[in-house]
Amino acid sequence: MTGATGKQGGATARRLLAAGRPVRALVRDTAAPAAVALAHAGAELALADLDEPAGLAPALEGATALFAVPPVTYGPAGGDPEPESTRGRALADAAAATGVRQVVFTGVASTTGDAFAAPAKRRVEQYLRERIPLVTVLRPVRFMTNYLGVPGIGLDGLAGGVHRHIFPPDEPLQVITLEDIAEFAALAFEQPDRFAGRTLELAGDDPTPAEAAAAIGAATGIVVRYEQLTHDEAAALGPQIARIRQQWISGSRWRADIEVLRVVHPGLRTLADWLAGPGTVAALRARLLST
């Protein structure tokens, strides 16, 4: 699997290892703390770099299934789709060449407009379908762990008791836990014929940003409020963020069907479930008290 030292990949690796499934994690540095933790949990580590395609096939040799998370590349104007697309195609080629028959690819949720359009991810999805017999695409919405901060984008997380983002404060906003993304990945690996060819838009709850801030405040005992970034504030963070903000205000929305997803995965977590999870409140309190 790729991305095993990151958020979605890490959660999926832990879920698969807990179920007794063998996991081989493709990593660039076997001595990195996250890689060492994976090895201690029972994962096999394989050195590989998505920017060095020649090393991908040896790292995948003998595998029959792959969880794929090509890393995003950011430039001055926001996400840079070309390196991401190149990496995804190289991974798909290596998987096909080594006989991988199943890929679970995780990208980003689609919207009713072109906000979060993720052109590179869509190209990789299509390329995988052309090269691999059994492909399942997961498209998760915003992670609940984003309340703990997202390095490198200049928004999200909690600072000074305030959660600031581009979204309107009083409209439902779909969110999901990393653990639930891992659950859907595990289901796809366990039942490849059932999930092959399917694209799953993933969400677990849809509180408004104001409701989410209030829930975090109630759970931590620290007052939290939500503020929507103005257009100028969003533009100062980058043209892509300003563009997404405007598209969202114009009506673009994620469209996961939470009730249908709950039939497939009855344990689908709500925001309240996430807040009640081990370590969540302590992590949120530490975040709030450090800013």
The rounded distance, in Å, linking the Cα atoms of 284 and 291 is: 11
Place of tokens 């940003």: 209
Beta strands in 13-88 (DSSP E): 24-27, 44-47, 65-68, 74-75, 78-79
Could you tell me which CATH class the domain 7-289 is placed in? alpha beta
Hey, how many other C-beta atoms are within 10 angstroms of the C-beta on 37? 14
What is the per-residue pLDDT for 152?
Answer: 64
Place of tokens 């405007």: 246
CB contact set of 211 (below 8 Å; sequence gap of 6+): none
Beta strands across the sheet bearing 199-202: 65-68, 102-106, 134-140, 199-202
CB of 271 closer than 8 Å to CB of 185: no
Residue 2: φ, ψ to 5°: -105, 160
Percentages of the chain per state (helix, strand, coil), in multiples of 5: 45, 15, 35
**Nearest one of 138, 26, 117, 124 to 83, comparing CA atoms:** 124
The rounded distance, in Å, linking the Cα atoms of 103 and 131 is: 10
Which amino acid, 162? V
Beta bridge partners, 79, equal: 74
What is the per-residue pLDDT for 82?
Answer: 85
* Mean pLDDT of all residues belonging to the chain: 93
**Nearest one of 183, 203, 187 to 65, comparing CA atoms:** 187
Say yes or no to pLDDT of 16 above 80.
yes
What is the per-residue pLDDT for 52?
Answer: 95
Helix (H) or strand (E) holding 135: strand 134-140
**Model confidence over 91-116: pLDDT tens digits?**
999 999 999 999 999 999 999 877 67
**Model confidence over 194-245: pLDDT tens digits?**
999 999 999 999 999 999 999 999 999 999 999 999 999 999 998 988 999 9
The rounded distance, in Å, linking the Cα atoms of 242 and 20 is: 45
CB of 96 closer than 8 Å to CB of 133: no
The rounded distance, in Å, linking the Cα atoms of 228 and 163 is: 8
Q: What is the model's pTM? A: 0.94
CB contact set of 262 (below 8 Å; sequence gap of 6+): 268
Q: What is the mean pLDDT of residues 71-80?
A: 60
Confidence band (pLDDT; 50, 70, 90) for 74?
Answer: low
What is the per-residue pLDDT for 49?
Answer: 95
**Model confidence over 147-189: pLDDT tens digits?**
998 776 667 888 889 999 999 999 999 999 999 999 999 999 9
The rounded distance, in Å, linking the Cα atoms of 269 and 275 is: 10
DSSP string, 88-146: HHHHHHHHHHTT--EEEEE----BSSSTT--HHHHHHHHHHHHH-SEEEEEEE-EEGGG
What is the per-residue pLDDT for 211?
Answer: 98
CB of 209 closer than 8 Å to CB of 273: no
CB of 201 closer than 8 Å to CB of 110: yes
